[in-house]
Amino acid sequence: MSKNVSIAIIGGGASGTLTALNLLRKLNVPAQIWLIEKRNEAVYRGNAYSSRLNYEPLNVPAGRMSAFSHLPDDFFYWLKKKKQADADFDIIRESFVSRRWYGDYLTERVGNAAAQSSHIGFETLIDHALDIRFDGRKDAYCITLNSGNNLHANYLVFATGNEPPVDIFKQEEVEGLNCQYVSNPWTEDPLQRINEQENVLIIGTGLTMVDHVVSLNKRGHKGKIFCFSRHGYLPLPHAETSQNFVFEFNDQQKDLPHIFSEVKRNIDNANGKNIQWQNALDAMRGKTGRMWKMMSLDSKRLFLNRLKSIWEIHRHRMPLASSETLKEMEKPGQLEILSGKVTGINRNKGNVIFKFISRTSKEERSIKVQRIINCTGPSGDYFKTDNTLLKNLLGKGWMKQDDLKIGIVTGARGEIIQDNGVVLQNAFAIGPLRKATEWETTAIREIRTQAEDTATQISSRVELNHEVMVEIGL
Ligand SMILES: Cc1cc2nc3c(=O)[nH]c(=O)nc-3n(C[C@H](O)[C@H](O)[C@H](O)COP(=O)(O)OP(=O)(O)OC[C@H]3O[C@@H](n4cnc5c(N)ncnc54)[C@H](O)[C@@H]3O)c2cc1C
């Protein structure tokens, strides 16, 4: 059977894998799917689920991580069947299980779907997509790969995910630090060369920092750990119990203070019903996209500059067990949270001296460490990242950076909008790339819905095209 239609998915993390999985389940006509992933260890896992840390729990309970929106317990049942024997605890829907296990789950689900779809060719390429042009002769996109090969595809899905943090130091400041400075915490095990007596500085105080600190603790680290960010806020813990709550949102007014007063009203309602605030915020899911779209550019800018850090610690919470460990480390002073503005770093006899203006004392302070890990979080300003493909496409106007520089401009269903405002034909974005339009587009619950919708859009176009071809006898 000829597989005359081809779909290239660029990025083999959770977004790309879920798109492939849905295409394999939905496509009823012959087709070829290519999944292109530049890092071997990230295939079907991406940055989040290929973790090498010894403490790397999901940040979301198992019961909310199914790959399918219509089968909410799929991951939980898979865990019970495949991982219960390996776990030293009873796995329940509220458990925070290993991120690598989640990668195992995605790998198995996509493998099964491929095995059951004999009319679809599915191939995973370990390669780096560098650029794309349109090949008029073949009426298809032509993807330039780092291996020197070219790949033709009729449909494109961009699932390039979370870009590593942008360096906060100048190139000349970190040159020569070698393994003393880890600029990207997601590529390897950043802790593997750390001696237990060394002092470690983690820049960034979000969830990636939490995983690194708890991992160090579980390895029996003895040295001091400093965690630094502009504000010094830590993610708050998840609720002790998960309770149902209906979030009511009155969208009559569109400005930021109104949205915040709506959030507060719902939290007060939850309190009145003895429901923890975390449950009220979780019930907002699915509504935040609408809120974001309602806001003016000025409101969005105000939110990003003034409120984002407060919002993030409430929204992206840590498991209770991680929170307990951090508190235990803080008590004797092994863990110190610092805040302020970085003024620079320099080297002194094998040590790194990190200098900053303290947010509390307003004075310059310096600390002496042996290791620094950059956990400042993903960047959406693609011109500043190392993603050659995105830079090339932005450069030639196939993609357009949004006004706030947090992502690219996409349509309501993930269509890529070019610099001239016209949709790029048969090309879609999924996952973190949609941040500028959707705001909350990073967790599995949002990504799986996008993957289902993207696969539906592509399948219906492919099938329509197939019917026309059959009708005209091609
Ligand atoms: C440490 C961490 C923990 C998280 N924990 C959770 C959690 O518990 N629950 C939850 O719901 N969400 C969690 N998230 C959110 C996470 O963003 C999503 O769940 C999801 O993993 C995002 O997947 P992605 O495929 O879009 O991105 P990524 O995981 O970043 O994958 C994108 C992939 O594309 C590849 N790529 C990029 N450009 C190219 C190119 N040009 N050519 C070839 N390959 C390319 C990259 O190598 C990468 O593997 C976590 C995120 C992180 C970073």
Q: Tokens at residue 222, please? A: 């003895």
Mean pLDDT of 27-56: 94
Give residue 178's pLDDT. Answer: 74
Give residue 177's pLDDT. Answer: 78
Q: 């089968």: which residue's tokens?
A: 71
Mean pLDDT of 134-149: 96
**Crossing angle between the packed helical segments 99-115 and 74-82, to the nearest 10 degrees:** 100
Whether 140 is in a domain gets the answer yes
Burial (0-12, 13-18, 19+ Cβ within 10 Å), 474: exposed
Mean pLDDT of 163-189: 83
Give residue 113's pLDDT. Answer: 97
Residues 13, 110: contact at Cβ < 8 Å? Answer: no
At 327, which CATH number?
Answer: 3.50.50.60
- Terminal Cα distance for the chain, rounded: 13
Q: Which among 21, 36, 43, 47 is the best mutation to test ligand 1's pocket, defined by most ligand atoms within 8 Å of the CB?
A: 47
Residue nearest to atom 32 of ligand 1 (CA): 161
* Ligand 1 touching residue 156 (CB < 6 A): no
Give residue 170's pLDDT. Answer: 82
* Ligand 1 touching residue 47 (CB < 6 A): yes
**228 and 275 in a common domain:** no
pLDDT digits (tens, 9 = 90+) for 425-449: 999 999 999 999 999 998 999 999 9
Q: Is 323 left (phi over 0), alpha (psi -120 to 50) or beta?
A: alpha
Mean pLDDT of 320-324: 94
Whether 82 is in a domain gets the answer no
Centre of ligand 1 to C-alpha 138, Å, is 32
Question: What is the SS3 assignment for the chain?
Answer: CCCCCEEEEECCCHHHHHHHHHHHHHCCCCEEEEEEECCHHHCCCCCHHHCCCCCCECCCCHHHCCCCCCCCCHHHHHHHHHCHHHCCCCCCCCCCCEHHHHHHHHHHHHHHHHHCCCCEEEEEEECCEEEEEEECCCCEEEEEECCCCEEEECEEEECCCCCCCCCCCCHHHHCCCHHHEECCCCCCCCCCCCCCCCCEEEECCCHHHHHHHHHHHHCCCCCCEEEEECCCCCCCECCCCCCCCCCCCCCCCCCHHHHHHHHHHHHHHHHHCCCCHHHHHHCCCCCHHHHHHHCCHHHHHHHHHHHHHHHHHHHCCECHHHHHHHHHHHCCCCEEEEEEEEEEEEEECCEEEEEEEECCCCCEEEEEECEEEECCCCCCCHHHCCCHHHHHHHHCCCCCECCCCCCECECCCCEEECCCCCEEEEEEECHHHHHHHHCCCCCHHHHHHHHHHHHHHHHHHHHHHHHHHHHCCC
Residue nearest to atom 17 of ligand 1 (CA): 442
Residues 6+ apart with CB under 8 A from 42: 12, 13, 50
**351 and 308 in a common domain:** no
Residue 18 has pLDDT above 80, yes or no: yes
Burial (0-12, 13-18, 19+ Cβ within 10 Å), 436: buried
Going by C-alpha positions, the residue among 264, 268, 290, 267 that lies closest to residue 278 is: 267
Give residue 100's pLDDT. Answer: 95
Whether 77 is in a domain gets the answer no
**204 and 299 in a common domain:** no
> Which residue, of 268, 291, 315, is where some domain finishes?
315
**127 and 42 in a common domain:** yes
**346 and 292 in a common domain:** no
Mean pLDDT of 92-112: 96
**339 and 298 in a common domain:** no
Residue 469 has pLDDT above 80, yes or no: no
Q: Tokens at residue 103, please? A: 């990668």
**462 and 405 in a common domain:** yes
Give residue 1's pLDDT. Answer: 43
What is the pLDDT confidence band of residue 171, given thresholds at 50, 70 and 90? Answer: confident
Whether 69 is in a domain gets the answer no
Lowest average pLDDT, out of 93-102, 283-292, 385-394, goes to 283-292
Residue 154 has pLDDT above 90, yes or no: yes
Residue 358 has pLDDT above 80, yes or no: yes
Residues 459, 27: contact at Cβ < 8 Å? Answer: yes
Residue 384 has pLDDT above 90, yes or no: no
**413 and 292 in a common domain:** no
**324 and 303 in a common domain:** no
Give residue 347's pLDDT. Answer: 86
Residue 59 has pLDDT above 70, yes or no: yes
Whether 117 is in a domain gets the answer yes
Residues 323, 241: contact at Cβ < 8 Å? Answer: no
Whether 443 is in a domain gets the answer yes
pTM for the model: 0.94
Residues 115, 121: contact at Cβ < 8 Å? Answer: no
Q: At 144, give phi and psi (nearest 5°).
A: -90, 125
Whether 460 is in a domain gets the answer yes
Give residue 2's pLDDT. Answer: 47
Residue 377 has pLDDT above 60, yes or no: yes
If one compares 451 and 463, the residue with the highest pLDDT of the two is: 451
Give residue 474's pLDDT. Answer: 61
**400 and 288 in a common domain:** no
> Which residue, of 374, 396, 421, is where some domain finishes?
374
Mean pLDDT of 171-194: 82
Domains of the chain: total: 3
What is the pLDDT confidence band of residue 473, given thresholds at 50, 70 and 90? Answer: low
Give residue 211's pLDDT. Answer: 93
Whether 74 is in a domain gets the answer no
CA separation (Å) from 380 to 65, 68, 162, 307, 441? 24, 27, 8, 18, 12
Mean pLDDT for the chain?
Answer: 93
Residues 33, 20: contact at Cβ < 8 Å? Answer: yes
pLDDT digits (tens, 9 = 90+) for 225-281: 999 999 999 999 998 888 889 999 887 777 888 888 889 999 999 999 999 999 999
**305 and 344 in a common domain:** no
Centre of ligand 1 to C-alpha 464, Å, is 32
Q: Which atom of ligand 1 is nearest to the CA of 444?
A: 11
* Ligand 1 touching residue 190 (CB < 6 A): no
* Ligand 1 touching residue 432 (CB < 6 A): yes
Q: Quote the domain boundaries for residue 466.
A: 6-56+98-163+380-471
> Which residue, of 374, 390, 418, is where some domain finishes?
374
**427 and 390 in a common domain:** yes
* Ligand 1 touching residue 225 (CB < 6 A): no
Mean pLDDT of 274-302: 91
